Amino acid sequence: MTTSLRDTLIVVGGGVTGLSVAFIAARAGKKVVVLEGAPQVGGLLCTTEVNERPIEKFYHHFFTHDAELFWLLKQLNSTHLLEFKKASMGMYSNQKIFPFGGVIDLIRFKPLRVLDKIRFIATTSYLGLFADWRSYESISAEEWLKKWAGERCYHFIWRPLFESKFGKYSHNIPVSWMVGRLQQRMRSRKKGKEELGVIKGSSKELLKALEAALQSMGVELVVNAKVDQLQVTNNSVKGVKLVNGEEYKSENVILTVPSPIAGKLIGTHNLKLATDLGNLEYFKATCAIVELKSPLSDQYWLNIADQTLTTGGIIEQTNLVSQEEYNGSSIVYLSKYFTEKDEFSSLSEEEKKQLMLVDLKSVFPALESKQILSVQIHSSNFAAPICELNFSERIIDVQSSINGLYVCNMQHVYPDERSINNAIITAAKTCELIGVSNSYLPPKRKVLPGSVGFN
């Protein structure tokens, strides 16, 4: 029996967005095919192995308010996988490490004066608790913070953080992005201390549970299936063609791949849409996973506020996940976000590794080379969309102008930060657009992701 073109849903991209779309649509009775270009599903959430144990290629933690992730885990009978722990934060500034996780730490933060600290608390509280992101889309965070938090606050806290995360784009990040980010972080705090979640046994366990559920519902998960082009007739999608020449037919296709890739797949079928998607730029990211004989510090997250260093963050994974999970080794991620225009982009993976290790040793001068057991480097060309001023005007509608074609990816979480939870939210909103009824969707709540592009 041949399946009608209308009955099948093709999902291109098997990252968390694609897998969540597939999960929700299949529960609602749709026949779904997921086409993933890599040898395994999971996208940015994929794992590698260190000391014979699985670990995320890119650090991943979760927040206490990640309601849609809890919902998904519940559907998978896997809530036991998520555990929350106190997480300590620090800031490396003026060649010193300052704890920077709560009000007490702020009071002790020497580079700022009392009035600066009051302005810091007042401005972050306003943005995180009260501000409406839509009113701040055209105002740069730099301009706003200098005015309201003060020059010193901007100089000692925000500027180094923005520069390490956004590089040359740090002058053009809208206040709205900070509203999204701070609202997320503030909801994760209990009595001033942050609790962060991790998946026991790594995200490999979450992906395993999700894959098993998809297969039990008859979802066809095809890996090594890199899509090369869409097939479109009379402005209606008819299927996709893979790079190996295989074809999959359907009148319903959801692209969850990064926007520039989606643009290439659309190509001449709709030049305007393809160009608009192609023009949405992304930050790249590199994470080094350093395996050590013993712990470095008691901080989970250390922001590097030092312009002489390349590395943006030092994340000591084994201050959130027990060393036992890695057969006794201590694990540290070194992270760096950059764009094609940054010099870092032109370095080889080996050069990036060496540069980041030099940074690690300058922050922790007592660290000896013999303490380092192994180092891995992982990079992504599509780590996060670059959200400049008035970014919402550039967000593409999920329901595209080609009949039957939908595009849902990280751009749609704006003004919130891209995350696993937000990928599930936007996947659910996309399923709603294709007619999946509420009973199959996570309970609705007021959230920022999915505010734009879902008309």
Q: Which residues bind ligand FAD (CB under 6 A)?
A: 12-18, 35-38, 43-45, 58-62, 226-227, 256-257, 261, 285, 287, 335, 380, 382-383, 409-410, 418-421, 423
**229 phi and psi, to 5 degrees?**
-160, 155
Of 123 and 256, nearer to ligand FAD (C-beta) is 256
Residue 216, token pair as written in the block: 């039990």
Q: Which is nearer to ligand FAD, 160 or 385 (CB)?
A: 385
SS3 content of the chain, % helix, strand, coil (to 5): 40, 25, 35
Please, what is the minimum distance in Å from the beta carbon of residue 1 to ligand FAD? 27
* Least Å from the CB of residue 154 to ligand FAD: 25
Q: Are 316 and 297 in contact (CB under 8 A)?
A: yes
| C-alpha–C-alpha distance, residues 172 and 176, integer Å | 11
**Minimum Å distance from CB 47 to ligand FAD?**
12
**Residue 22 φ then ψ, to 5°:** -60, -40
Q: Which is nearer to ligand FAD, 58 or 70 (CB)?
A: 58
CA-closest candidate to residue 171, choices 181, 156, 159: 159
Nearer to ligand FAD, 329 or 409 (CB): 409
How near is the Cβ of 23 to ligand FAD at its closest, in Å?
Answer: 12
Compute the distance between CA of residue 385 and CA of residue 280 in angstroms, rounded to an integer. 7
| Residues whose CB is less than 8 angstroms from the CB of residue 127 and which lie 6 or more positions away in sequence, other chains included | 175, 178, 179, 182, 183
Tell me how crowded residue 374 is: count the other CB atoms within 10 A of its CB. 12
The answer to whether 73 and 23 are in contact (CB under 8 A) is no
Residues 6 and 434: beta-carbon distance below 8 Å: no
Min dist CB 367 to ligand FAD, Å, is 23
116 versus 194: smaller Cβ distance to ligand FAD: 194
Check: CB of residue 218 under 8 Å from CB of residue 31.
yes
Q: Which is nearer to ligand FAD, 127 or 207 (CB)?
A: 207
The count of other CB atoms within 10 Å of the CB of residue 437 is: 9
Minimum distance of ligand FAD from residue 409's CB (angstroms): 5
How far apart, in whole angstroms, are the C-alpha atoms of residue 292 and residue 161?
Answer: 26
Q: How far is the CB of 400 from ligand FAD (least distance, A)?
A: 17
Nearer to ligand FAD (CB atom), residue 156 or residue 300? 300
In the complex with ligand FAD, which residue's Cβ is closer, 31 or 378?
Answer: 378
Residues 6+ apart with CB under 8 A from 126: none
Of 149 and 408, the one with the shorter C-beta distance to ligand FAD is 408
CA atoms within 13 A on the CB side of 396: 29
Whole-angstrom Cα distance, residue 120 to residue 97?
19
